A and B are shown apart, each in its own frame.
Chain A
Amino acid sequence: MKRREFIINTAAATAGVALMNKKSYSKERSVEEFMNTDSQNILIIIELFGGNDGLNTIIPYDQEDLYLELRPNLHIPKEFAIQFGDSDLFLNSGLIDGVHNGGMMNLMSTGKLAVVQGIGYDNPTLSHFRSSDIWHSGINSTDPNEKLLEGWLGRYFAKILNNYPDDIPAHPIAISLEGTIPLMLKSAKGDMGVSLQNPERFYQLGEGLTPKSLRYHTPTDSFHEREFNFIHVVAEQSEKYSQVVKEAYEKGKDKIKVNYSTGLPQKFRVISSLIAGGIQTRVFYMRLSNFDSHAQQMQYDYTGAHYTLLNNLARGICEFLDDAQQQGFADRIVGMTTSEFGRRVNDNGSRGTDHGAASMQFMFAGSDEYIEGGYYRVEGKPDLNDLDEFENLRHQYDFRRTYNDVLETWLGASPEDSRDVFGDTFLPLGILNKRASSVWEFIRPTENQDFLVYPNPSSGNLNIRFELKKYARVIIELYSTIGQRIEVFTNELLPGGNYNYNHFVYNTGEYNIAITVGNTRIIKKFIVIR
């Protein structure tokens, strides 16, 4: 059986995550190579603003009767949805129809796509703006009067860049392809990133923008001085980065290997040129709007507004990943979609849907080495029979868990960093694999792995074996798949040497084992079957 089929079938049959951590570091690579290479990692974020209808994106044909009953005017018939193999995963055909290279289905088959079902947060708000602020800030505040003024990435980058904005990095740390900087990139130190749409124009216009006058001293109580300083920094960045962006764009624009189609793909084209030209930006942000489909979301031929939007999204992602593959930077790319909420389970009679709560999320990567593709959900979820008081789907995964995959696994944050960013601990979902990790500073491989977890699946016995190179704190914790901590097995300072921990897990089911050493947290799946 091919590995991909194995994953998806398991997903349908059990709890829906990739079973084994396949990462074995079997290739001959030095520890040094593993170190400090995180800086090559690039994150693409596509916000689907308005609230994407998750149920018509990934269609719940495992609950066919209920789906048809709740969506009399707005269901996608089974023959118009596209099934992945013989699994429970049915995709909206807009994600595939006419899309480059077989669309999202091809990404699924090649293990580069993860579909996360049941993503959301406690006490969901049905307001676009509040919910969007919650997603952008990474703070779930139930008090609507609490202003959310900083973003999750903004806070993380502000932590890294101590002297910002007095010292700004040589390359923009993040680029928004929209006219504005989204909340997720804002911080108390200012905007962590720049926005641009047309790199050539950006350059032509950037020259000579640095103001002749100096900034005022901070902090200041004067409103005028505060705003003056804010504008001053943007002006300085505009000039400084216009040069960097031009150089990268000029170098990279002719390296494009794919004919990008219209709409969102054109933004991907710009990103591809910049990366090909050597820009060292870590995060690219795009927004696709008009998901707020209260009316006329679908035409009678099952295409229409929502289909068109998904098609736009899929074209962008698939054209870009193929281009990246051909150009040779695919293994640096990881991407995710976000949307402030899903939509109401029952349609509203205007051939549309009202605001909902939990929904689905795509994560993708240019290389299957860095992502465990598959269908991530808790067994039997989303349950169209088990709705909240407003008849919306319940979430199983807090959205900060996939954020944390990105932060800890892809952008080099330590568990402590991510706790600072979110104000709480969220276990990464374990979708992404680290390119290289600082565990190799502390760990010598055991049978080609960092930590050997065996047997797996197990009838209850759990052994964790590893070799510590030098003195370090090691924390080993057992978590449920929905991210609740069940037990702390170990939290101690250990001298170098070989270790083998033995535990017994009583209840059958699927678990995550989180092992933290140095500043890195590694997630291992562990399954108990009897």
Chain B
Amino acid sequence: MTQQKTKFCPSGRQLLAALTLTALGCSAMLDSVQAGEKPSTEEVNTTGLAVTDDTVRVGILHSLTGTMAISETGSVQAEQLAIKQINEQGGVLGRQIEYIVEDGASDWPTFAEKARKLLEEDDVASVFGAWTSASRKAVLPVFEQNNGLLYYPTFYEGLEQSENVIYTGQEATQQILAALDWVAETHGAETFYLVGSDYIWPRTSMKIARTHIERDLGGEVVGEDYYPLGNTQFGSLINKIKLRKPDLVFAAVVGGSNVAWFKQLNAAGMTPERMPMLTISVTEDEVLGIGKQNVAGFWSSMKYFQSLDIPANNDFVAAFRAEYGEDAVIGDVTESAYLGPWLWKRAVEKAGSFDVSRVTAASAGLEWQEGLPHGYTRLMPNHHLSMRTRIGEWQPDGQARVIFESEIIEPNPFPEGY
């Protein structure tokens, strides 16, 4: 990271910062200008958080070591970038953001331990972090008990809505339903094969997908298989798929398994033309590991792709590359992580307070017409975001070409009847 920082010249950096500032912070800036001079610390902090006249302390809690580090590093970088940009704009309520980074070490109890440390010892005003469902489940009781505030970036299975968590990624129905509709309509898909890694997110996602396919689309699920995390043997699965000839493979294979999964698909001659596949687990970050040529032609359903041609996104990508090098890629979760500090800033300024209860109350109903990298966003009372879902077709250069964009989809973390 430090080596990459030396690559760009200061003037370019300032230019970029200024660009991002204008694009991302227009509305937020207005808020703070309207607020006039800085409110006193006693006024904005009544619950003993680490707020001084000049600073406010927040936490970043991700895995920096262990198996998840490769996925979570992007989130840490995005959060640090957002905080840096906010500080350059003058901070939040006139206070510079200081952050403490803690390592969850890909280990769920460690996440709980560190969350407790951030909330009980460091008195942070908010925490940006957690990544896997398991780590979120581990820290959730800690946040609820201490009335902390967590911005959780990953697209996830839903079935949860906590007063103390803002979910900046998509819940399962947002990611799945519109995408399946599109495949059924434009490609006439009627038979589906569901594949996932064996844990809560793929299983819940497939449960939703199956119900939607069978009940709403009138299609048929010809197979549903789960493999342990880290599995690398997909030979028998590929044979089964060949045998049953589904119109679409719907996949939620995560982590290192993806590499084996795509390579073995290719080796078996299952090209995108012969076997269309829609995944909900492959972002630009995964493509880097799988190999661009192995993914080309397959589809992913996400709210964000690095290639989105939206002014705010162009600025974001430029700023991210200036900070972390020209080769840096940005996946959906990285973008969600980047949203966290910005969402928090807006809510704090609307509430005029760092108090967690007031910030969460102010969060509901916040709206961005533009200014966020993935476009229109509304923070709903259920603490999830409304946004568009997109389908990207992976290109040989490792970027996605958006071939479908949905209407604004409201979050529905507790879908009835699924």
Asked if A pairs with B, the answer is no
Hey, which bits of chain A sit against chain B, CB under 8 A? none
